[in-house]
Structure 1
């Protein structure tokens, strides 16, 4: 499926994103285990709340990182985690 800028995404209920103090990073928890996220992956995943559109997430991350053009990187990451079943359309 092609993700569009106006798509609203949510994290699939069997997955959970949270900050892990011991790991010093965001992680994705799921019944079989845990995945440590890079800083950029954590920045994206923590913004997926079932309310924001993809363009909202991109604009928020861009503003956080002083106007950096993050569109392509965010879209590629979202396509991967969508394909992995971590997120879905709201």
Structure 2
């Protein structure tokens, strides 16, 4: 994950605070809400890591073919990652 868990927690707390201050949400337990929002943010941000790992596995399976055809790893990584992001409906 690009951001540390502590920073994601900070972002979650600030997001919840902003939403409460703007009267967009109400809660009697802001700490619980902070934890849930933080967990959701961590999960969403970890999605890119999971996609990257899946791309590596796929490209490893096609390693010999890529070498024979002269395909660039970085270019293939980007193409496969784009397709997987579309498949998982992720915005990266």
The structure in which a higher percent of residues are strand is 1
Calculate the TM-score normalised by the size of structure 2. 0.28
Calculate the TM-score normalised by the size of structure 1. 0.28
Larger Rg: 2
The structure in which a higher percent of residues are helix is 2
Higher relative contact order (CA 8 A, sep 6+): 1
